[in-house]
Chain A
């Protein structure tokens, strides 16, 4: 929406001398307050990670570090083995993304365009999982991955324990299906006339025009793994297999506070980067899909 849409305050009111003054004051206040409240903690995190141990504990705290200690970042990185935790998290996140893209896209395409027998029942059962509070299922899910029925495998400490359950994202399937529903059938018919298989049609015709929705689903898939805490804490007890969230949490009490702050600053960089690069997609995805769950 552009700023030309009419909102609560009328343009004439805004154009008046008093209106202008009030508007400028409010704008300045909002800018300062929001920057302090939302950006301030990030600045605090980055700068306090640079302080010496003495300066960190100093009362009153200093706004700017007197002397820079970038070696805190290096120490935190080494002592907490952040490279390992980071690689683990990346491995889980991109694996989950791959599984979600393959299985959820195929399922949504099938439910939207191929319409198999019992398709609506399956869709209904998938959507029904949205109504079950996720935390309620943690206990039976945990017991299931301890000993997966039929396969009789224990998935604890393996990446599968993150990847496979991530596929059961009914919301993604719902978003994708709604998008595929809007793809004109004529396009698929044309492709079929050209002799393309369904897989080929999905790959060369449907996916290229679905880029926006695929982008949104991908970002949410990665951020989902990056932010999850309870599930990886339960299912990845081996310290060498842990995610950033769980690893930093379990090491938190053993390192100096300024190193810890340096560590969380580094752990925050990847998701913040994703956000800054893809913020347009994220915002549109939120407002497109966020209204219905």
Chain B
């Protein structure tokens, strides 16, 4: 990987007690490498260290990025690639599934934010107040994140079963009406969101908890002196103090939930009853791997990319702000 060590060190370094005089010995050919030679060698070593990662990025990240854009404007038929102009995008926009997929994805995002954004914050607030069993509770909340998705999903599929599933049994005991869960157009998406929230909220909870622990206690004391109650303390101290983290997490979750694929795919086969859980990424998957229509898949990917770029830009701006 790197060049063998060579006498390239500054001669001004004190080498008094060092027996390793080798450091100062000139190169075998009798002359020391010059300034330019040293810089070149330094750079060669440095680039040698970089080469593996750069090649991987080149082949599996940067090149696919360029290819994504090209694909969106190409058509491949019988192995021949031709320029397709805007026809892929045109096709995508006129596909009724496109609008349904967007409606579903936005519904998923809205529900996921309602649950996946608010619930972890409330849990973090609660955990931060408790003085006992903290480690145990933190462990519990993060446990589902470590399960392989296929395990969590098959678990929930079983719980959601209308006949023998656990949820309907609990509803029965509570005298609530039986639900069709994943099998009805009105509840399928909510069911997916509940499962996804259970699976993924551990990370957000721990991040909120860390943010809450950074709030100086004097602020709460000052608020109490002003006669603030619990809710007013949360509103006027906790939320302003964690505002940056909250907005960062909000953007991060929007970016993540708009790309949801695995949960609906595993829970409802992707489409769900009457396409009620078809998401944008599932539609991309369908175009590419069921219909072999890579052009349309790439075109739809590009639409999603442009939309998410806006949120990403906001995220980068915000995280710069938190750095300062």
Contact = CB atoms under 8 A, between A and B. Distances in A.
B166 A61 contact: yes
A136 B50 contact: no
B309 interface: yes
Contacts of B305: 132-133, 136
Nearest to B244: A291
Tell which of B210, B294, B297 has the most Cβ of chain A within 10 Å: B210
A27 B166 contact: no
Contacts of A171: none
B27 interface: no
B176 to A, nearest CB: 15
Interface in A230-284: 230, 234, 244-246, 248-249, 252, 257, 260-261, 264-265, 267-268, 271-272, 274-276, 279, 282-283
Given A192-B9, A291-B207, A8 B221 contact: no
B52 A106 contact: yes
Contact of B50 (A30, A107, A268): A107
A187 B77 CA distance: 59
Interface string B126-167: 111111111001111111101111111011001100011010
Contacts of A264: 148, 150-151, 154-155
B156 to A, nearest CB: 8
B50 A122 contact: yes
A199 B49 CA distance: 9
B281 to A, nearest CB: 5
A277 B251 CA distance: 32
Interface in A113-156: 114-117, 119, 122, 125-126, 129, 131-145, 148-149
Interface string A74-87: 00000000000000
A257 B316 CA distance: 46
Contact of B206 (A141, A267, A271, A287): A287
Contacts of A44: 155, 166
Main secondary structure of the interface of A (DSSP, over half): helix
A67 interface: no
Interface string B56-89: 1101111111011001000000000000000000
Contacts of A272: 143, 146-147
Interface stretch (B40-48, B90-98, B110-118, B179-187): B40-48
Given A271-B147, A275-B142, A197 B62 contact: no
A35 B132 CA distance: 15
Interface in A59-111: 59-61, 99, 102-104, 106-107, 109-111
Given A34-B137, A115-B46, A132-B65, A229 B57 contact: no
Interface of A: 1, 3, 5-10, 26-27, 30-31, 34-35, 37-39, 41-42, 44-45, 57-61, 99, 102-104, 106-107, 109-111, 114-117, 119, 122, 125-126, 129, 131-145, 148-149, 164-165, 167-168, 173, 192-200, 223, 226-227, 229-230, 234, 244-246, 248-249, 252, 257, 260-261, 264-265, 267-268, 271-272, 274-276, 279, 282-283, 286-287, 290-293
Given A131-B309, A193-B18, 12 more contacts: A5-B213, A8-B129, A9-B129, A34-B141, A99-B56, A138-B284, A168-B61, A195-B20, A197-B2, A197-B5, A268-B148, A291-B322
5 contacts: A30-B127, A107-B53, A149-B63, A167-B52, A246-B150
